[in-house]
Structures are given as structure tokens and as C-alpha cells.
Amino acid sequence: MRAKKKPVPAEPTKGLVCPKCECRHFHVVEVSPLPEGKIRRRRECRHCGFRISTTEAAANDPARNV
């Protein structure tokens, strides 16, 4: 029995898909820090200009309890 490659599901959280043109080519136009150690990123679709903003935990020290 050979080990087959598992089917890779569509990118879970990282793959941001444009709801308009369904592409994934976003570039960040703005990054603003939020309280609670988070950041907000404003992204713009390269193709249709659709804008979306995401809130992410700032990649700091995960072991640190803020």
C-alpha cells in the first residue's frame, strides 16, 4: 500500500477570496493596530478593487497572556 497524498482542502483561513471576482489576489492597503493586541488589515482586490478588512491577532508571543 502506498501512501497517497491527502486531498488538500481549499485553503482554510488564510485564503481570502474576493466575493466579487473570486480571485485571491489581495494586497494590503492599510494596517491599523487595535487594542487587545490585534491588528486590522485593509485589503484590496487587485482585480476589481473590492475592499475587505480583516482583524487578526498580532503575531506576537503566543505564550504571553496579555
Query: What residue ranges bind Zn ion (CB under 5 A)?
Result: 18, 20-21, 45, 47-48, 50
3-class SS of residue 8: coil
CB of 8 to Zn ion, least distance (A): 23
- Is the CB of 20 or the CB of 40 nearer to Zn ion? 20
- Is the CB of 20 or the CB of 38 nearer to Zn ion? 20
| Rounded (5°) CA angle 30-11-60 | 50
Strands ordered across the beta sheet of 38-45? 26-34, 38-45, 51-57
- Is the CB of 19 or the CB of 33 nearer to Zn ion? 19
CB of 51 to Zn ion, least distance (A): 10
* Cell numbers linked to 23: 480571485
